[in-house]
Structure 1
Amino acid sequence: MKNRLNGVFKIAAVVVTGALSTAAIGQSGSLRSEYPELAGLNNAFDVTQAEIFDAMAGINSDPATEEARSELRMELDMMANMDMHEMMSRNAGQGGQMDMSTPMTGPYGESEIEARVELYGLLQTDHSDTDAEQAFVNSEALTRHSARVLQHGRSFERAVWDIFASPSMNIFQKRIAVDEAIEEYRTSDPRHAVSLTPKSSELYLAHPYANGLTSAFPRLSGLMWTNQWLQLASLEAIIIGQVDPQFAGSVPTTLERYRSKLG
C-alpha cells in the first residue's frame, strides 16, 4: 500500500511539474501583451547598448581624438595609483552613479555628444524582437564570445520578464518558473552563462581602471546606467504590484521617472 501511495505521489509530482513547465513556456510574449511600451524599450535598450560599444570603439579609433586619449590615459594612470579610500572619496565627490540629467563633461566633447544624440534617436525607434536578439552579435566592437554572453543573458532576462508579466500564474508558480528559467540558462549554453556565485565588488571597484568608462564616456555610460535602471525598477514594480495590491499599476510611474532621468 505504501509503495502504491509513493507511486501516486511521484506521478502527481511529475504532472504538476510538467504543467508548470508548460505554463512557463507559454508565457513567452507576456511582457509585450501586458506592458507593450516597456517591451519596446527593452528591445531598444539592446540595440542601443550594442551601438554604444561601437560608438566608443569608433571614437577611440578616430585620429581626431588622439590628444584627448593621451590626456585621458594620464588621468587614468593617476587614478590607478589611488588607494580604495581615495577612489571612493573621488566617486562621492562626483555624485556616484550618473543618469542623463546629471551635468557631465568628458574628454571627447562633441564626438561623444554627437554619438549620444544618435543613440537617443535609437531609443525612440521601434525595434523588432529579431533586431534586439541579434544586436550584440552584429556589433563590430564586441568579440564573438562577449556578444554571445550578452545575448544569452538577455534571452534569460526576457524569459524572467515574461514570467512575472504573466497574468495567468500565481506567485508560487512564477517562483518555480524562474527556477526553471535559471536552470535553462545554466545548461542550454554553459560556455556563455555567467556563474551563479556572487562576485566580490572588488572585481569591478578595486582594479586600476575601475573608473575608466565613466571618465572616458560620461554621457554614454550615463545613458547605459539610465537604461539599466529602468530594467531593474520596472521589474521590481511588476513584482511588488503582484505581491501587494496597493502598489499595483506602478509601471507607468516608473516609466515617467525613467523619462525624467533620460533628460
Structure 2
Amino acid sequence: MVNIHPTAIVEDGARIGKDVQIGAFSMIGPDVSLGNGVVVGSHVVIEGRTVIGERTTISPFAAIGGPPQDTSYKGEPTEVEIGPDCIIREYATVHRGTARGRGRTVVGAKCFMMIGAHVAHDCIVGDHVVLVNNATLGGHVEVGEHAILGGLSAVQQHCRIGAHAFLGGLSAAVTDVIPFASAIGERAELGGLNIIGLKRRGFDRPTIHALRAAYQAIFNGEGTRAERVERVAEQYRDIPAAMMIVDFIRKGGDRPLCSPRA
C-alpha cells in the first residue's frame, strides 16, 4: 500500500510503485520513477528524470536528480539512475548528467551513501559502494563495485577508483586508484592492498597472495610499467582478481595512475 504524507508534493506524471512511502514535506517531480518499496523520508527533493530502484531508502533533506554543477549545462533532459536496495542518508546529493558527458549519473545496487555524501554529474558508481560521511565525487568519476571512500574524502573529476579499493578518510584522489588497493593522503598515494577488505569479502589466501605478488611486480619490478603489466598478465592470467588490475591499467583513463609512496 502506498503511503504519502498529506504535506508531500507528488507532481502529475510521477510513477510511484507498490508499497512506496513518502514523508512529510517531500517533493517528487513529474519525471521521477520510484520502484516498489522505496521509502522517502521527510523534506526530500527528487527531481528531473530520476529512477530510484526498489526498496531504496532516502533519509531527510537528501536531494536527488538536481541539475549538474557544470557551466556547460543548459537544461538538457539528462538523467539519474539509482539501483535497488540503496541507503541514502541525510543531506546526500546526486546530480543528473550533462549533455557533453554521459547524459546520465548512475549509482548501482546496494550502495550506502552516508550523511552529506555527494555524487556529481556523469558519475558511474558500481554495486555495494560505500561513501562515508561527506565523501565527494567530482564529475565523470567511475567507482568500481565494493569500493569504500572514507569520510571527508574527495575524488577529482574524471578519476577512476577500482573495485574493492579503499580511499582513506580526509584523502584526495587526483589519480586513478587500481582495484584492491588502499590509497591514503592529502594527495592520495597507494599504501598497499586493501587486505582488510579482501578478507571481509571472502577472498581466499592464494588469491590474496597472488594479488600481493602482482602489485609488487607492477610497481617495483624491472622494466617499464607497460612491460611489467604484460608480465603480470602472462603470469596471472588464470587469477581473475589479478587480471582485474591488469585490465584496469590497460584500459587507461584521463588521469595518471596512483603510485605507491616513495
Would you tell me which structure has more strand in proportion to its own residues?
2
Q: State the TM bucket, normalised to the shorter chain.
A: under 0.3
**Could you say which structure has the larger radius of gyration?**
1
Greater helix fraction, Structure 1 or Structure 2: 1
TM-score (norm 2): 0.22
Q: Normalising by the residue count of structure 1, what TM-score does the alignment of the two structures yield?
A: 0.22
